Amino acid sequence: MTSQRILLTADPELPVPPKLYGGIERIIDLLITGLKSRGHTIGLVAHKDSIAKCDRLFPWWGARSQDKIDMMRNTYTLWQAIREFQPDLVHSYLINNLEEACNAVTILDQINRINCRQRVEQCFSASVIVNKYEELYSHLLNNNNYFPIKSRSQPAGLECDSSLF
């Protein structure tokens, strides 16, 4: 994959990497490190205390993802980050809604811990994660199956081959 400008986003509540807990924030930090090691330029829109080794940090203006005023502030922050960073691709990890997160927590007791650990070891090492995302980015950019940042000629939406994962 040729070198790309990739803008990643994380929820505004926790820094990247997190100080204590924060699984998505840890994955974003691993992804930044892996993608930079492969020559990509990485921007990050995240909590103001983020110390990830990205090329450019754009701190969220609002501190809460579920607050309507902060959501408006953060929409402006993202718009400004895209305008200044000029990414080839924006990869967002924002939670769709609180209900989705709460529903996931309710099934935690149903998870087989041994099978889960084996699956994590097989599929979620830093190199596997970076490989899969780089493959996905390449697929999206080569097939125009995304909402292009620069031309805005495609309708919003993301179509991708689920076999990549």
Average pLDDT value for residue range 142-155: 52
**Residue 110 or residue 159, greater confidence:** 110
**Residue 122 or residue 92, greater confidence:** 92
pLDDT at 160 over 50: no
Strand positions, DSSP E, the chain: 5-9, 41-46, 56-59, 89-92
| Residue ranges covered by each domain of the chain | 5-152
According to the model, what pLDDT value does residue 143 have?
80
Query: What's the pTM value of the predicted model, to 2 decimals?
Result: 0.69
Q: In the structure, what pLDDT confidence band is assigned to residue 9 with cuts at 50, 70 and 90? A: very high
Instruction: Provide DSSP, 72-124.
Output: HHHHHHHHHHHHHH--SEEEE---S-HHHHHHHHHTGGGS-HHHHHHHHHHH-
According to the model, what pLDDT value does residue 99 have?
66
**Residue 161 or residue 58, greater confidence:** 58
**Residue 151 or residue 5, greater confidence:** 5
Taking the C-alpha atoms of residue 46 and residue 63, their distance in angstroms, rounded to an integer, is 10
Residue type, 1: M
Residue type, 33: T
Taking the C-alpha atoms of residue 17 and residue 15, their distance in angstroms, rounded to an integer, is 6
Taking the C-alpha atoms of residue 17 and residue 34, their distance in angstroms, rounded to an integer, is 14
Average pLDDT value for residue range 52-75: 91
Contact 116, 17 (CB under 8 A): no
Give the helix/strand (H/E) hosting 102.
helix 98-106
According to the model, what pLDDT value does residue 107 have?
66
Average pLDDT value for residue range 40-54: 97
Task: Give domain 5-152's CATH architecture.
Answer: 3-Layer(aba) Sandwich (3.40)
What whole-number percentage of the chain has pLDDT above 90?
Answer: 39
Structure tokens at 14: 């926790």
Under 8 Å CB-to-CB from 15, ≥6 apart: which residues?
25, 46, 47, 48, 49, 50, 51
